[in-house]
Chain A
């Protein structure tokens, strides 16, 4: 049995039973899972976690799923790597990358979907659905296929081709909508009202879905020897992931897995072409004003972020900051991460690294802070962003002479530099 005891409205505090419900009927605030933390504290230990599977499910006590019959493709427990070369380039002496590109479908969404569909199946749903900017589409289609559930995935019609292919391959129903992500999301929220038997992972089972992102905090702390980092940089689309990583570190302390209360500074990363939360931060606003997105970082192109103001609260209260990056800066940052650490990130990862770079340069991130940058999606999904500037060094005939000629010419130009 899980330790989830209720759903609680983040706005007015009203509680609801642990069912398929995501919105407070009094004030429309989002519902969040509340746990019996005393029970978890008594049950969990570093040793019990170490005995668990090498996946998000090693932290099952802190997740809202009762059954051990999970929808599990093996999400989580991705590498946390020391980034010495990138750190040297940015003037950071203790930089780490959480490489979440190495999930079953190539993004952190496998964490949230594994939780959402495990819960959905437990609640009796037979159909999995979502509104997606691509990564969620891949993950829902894959997990639904494995779980033998029908799937309906709704995407904006201008989504990257690679993300369409990496969704349709799993065989579910994929519907493109003439509009942006916010249009898709609005439509799905309305469909949810008419199709109560469908589990829309980011709508009616969202309260469970979003809990999966806490594992990004759990793993980092465990991989650092049960210590929280000083500063983290997290990409912001809807703002859900950032707020849940914060919740994750707090919970670890609350249940006794961290010796000291964590004081993690949390900074957010957004693309210039869709930066409603970063803008509110810069301008000192309490509220996030929706925008119309136009960016190559399509996985972050959410103009009306549902958890935007919670993300703003977390960043402000932890002493973090926000930065945003242009399309050109995003592409340069993708190349910088790849050429220094051998990690190929999608455009959202470029946003994170570009933001890290700016925060290091401006001194917001201090040189000796232990920093973790969350790189949450695989670059193979967004190759189109780099395609126009990706040329081979030369095309030559299959002869040693031709190669020698190429080498000579190349050494000459490099020597001249």
Chain B
């Protein structure tokens, strides 16, 4: 084959590839097709593998690691007793909170439905350039793109791409992740963004006079439309005035160990308007002005 022919073929292939790449950038057809096939196949293969790992791990913890179980049991009993005491102490506050919410007509944010999911793997394949994990829920089972994920300790990230039964999740440590937050105590708003898997997070656009302290909790503000309001996301590890802008330079760390995730919770949007409980029973004592229309003089 002559050099000229090779160059012509190579040029033709390059033009074809760039054409396909541009067409896919606008239509996303090939991305959707490959996501469906790739993630579904990976879920079908890795699901049983992960289940087998769990079975083996369970056998180990049940039969081999029995020595520590008794001590752990004692510790757990003590913890349960302590938690019961705390629950009893908090039940009065909780009841009061419910009453106040009804009185103030503050909608309880119950338009998010929690769903459990299992982590199948971390970054997989040579094209995994973003900081992601793969979970065993897809758009048919509650893991639509944009769905937020968390554990009992705090926020993890949100679903980036999904097939029917598997999905890729963009972790909050990825440099492309942006989360609208506010600080829990000082109520200063900002944008939390990642800097890579093993780097700390950064909070942008917090004014210098915000009074943010080290160790303060950062919770989602819900203003970005992706995350429900009030989810704990990260903890402040350093605060100092920025040398380059009129804002504070704040670094934070995730509350969750993102390198060792096993089970996660998805918050699926139900699409329903938040329901407000109607309190039909009259309050035992006077706590506010009466509702309109209930005044006997009218």
Do A and B form a real pair? no
Report which A residues bind B (CB closer than 8 A): none
Report which B residues bind A (CB closer than 8 A): none
